[in-house]
Amino acid sequence: KLSNRLAAVASFVEEGAVVADIGSDHAYLPCYLIRSGKIAQAVAGEVAKGPFDSAVRNVRREGLSDAVTVRLADGLFAIEAQDAVDTVTIAGMGGPLIATILENGKDRLQEVKRIIAQPNIYAKAVREWAVANGWKIIDEHILKEDGKIYEIIVLEKGTAQYDDLEMTVGPFLLASRADVFLEKWERESSEWKRVLDSLEKAEATDAIYQKKEQLKMQIELVGKV
Ligand code: SAM
């Protein structure tokens, strides 16, 4: 059974899409999308040999080799022009790594209409990359599974402006103020307060002063959610 996290990512894939799942590991997400009948073709990209091998094995075991092409490649270089990929999913990595992968391979995004990103940490990096590269946020989702909280960001081409709070916590998530969302920012804030408290006891160097000011600003910002 697919995790709730990946099922939530899958829910943002449109019917009939051609999907490239980047950092696919076991290729669970593309296999699920094909099996469910939602899509007919997918690419599973993996940069590491071990996960690539398990993706190949899994796709074969499920009898989906005609529908899911598994490629050993770095990031978006798994996408080839003849694939006609229109949707990219990229899940289970840190926001900064997702942003780097999108940045390094952005030439491969010309025909792509939708990016569905699920950063495990620091989703702000994905929002910053989007705004700087002609993508706008069209939806977001947040969920908790096994005690962990996950954010999903859906991007399409276009321009939009977000303020500092929206970039940090997500404009759609901020507007909906779901319980899990409030819990996430309470958690983050109490962690920052804990660090701040311990820094209060540390020697007052310039670097520590800077760090404390930064933490205070973050705490104040997310205090507004
Ligand atoms: N997407 C799956 C999920 O959400 O469950 C797997 C997440 S797993 C934690 C991250 C995967 O991304 C690993 O298999 C790793 O090898 C792969 N990865 C990391 N950097 C990558 C890159 N530049 N290009 C392709 N895959 C990458």
In the reported structure, the alpha carbon of residue 46 is separated from the centroid of ligand 1 by a whole-number distance in angstroms of 6
Q: How far apart are CA 181 and CA 152, in angstroms?
A: 12
In the reported structure, the alpha carbon of residue 211 is separated from the centroid of ligand 1 by a whole-number distance in angstroms of 31
Give residue 202's pLDDT.
Answer: 87
Give residue 193's pLDDT.
Answer: 97
Which amino acids bring their CB within 6 angstroms of ligand 1?
6, 22-25, 45-48, 51, 74-75, 91-93, 101
The percent of residues in the chain predicted with pLDDT above 70, rounded, is 100
pLDDT single digits (tens) 142-194: 999 999 999 999 999 999 999 999 999 999 999 999 999 999 999 999 999 99
Cα-based distances in Å from 9 to 36, 109, 160, 211: 14, 19, 22, 35
Ligand 1, residue 3: give the atom nearest the CA: 5
Residue with tokens 């999913």: 89
Give residue 1's pLDDT.
Answer: 87
Q: Whose alpha carbon is nearest atom 14 of ligand 1?
A: 25
For residue 92, the surrounding DSSP H or E stretch is strand 87-93
Give residue 203's pLDDT.
Answer: 86
Cα-based distances in Å from 136 to 84, 130, 186: 22, 6, 27
Query: Measuring CA to CA, which residue among 82, 68, 81 is closest to residue 21?
Result: 68
The residues of the chain scoring below 70 in pLDDT are: none
Q: Whose alpha carbon is nearest atom 24 of ligand 1?
A: 75
Domain 4-161 has CATH 3.40.50.970: no
Q: What is the ipTM of this complex?
A: 0.99
Return the bridge partners of 135, or none: 157
Residue 94, exposed/middle/buried by CB under 10 A (0-12, 13-18, 19+)? middle
What is the residue extent of each domain of the chain? Answer: 4-161, 183-222
Q: Whose alpha carbon is nearest atom 16 of ligand 1?
A: 48
Give residue 54's pLDDT.
Answer: 97
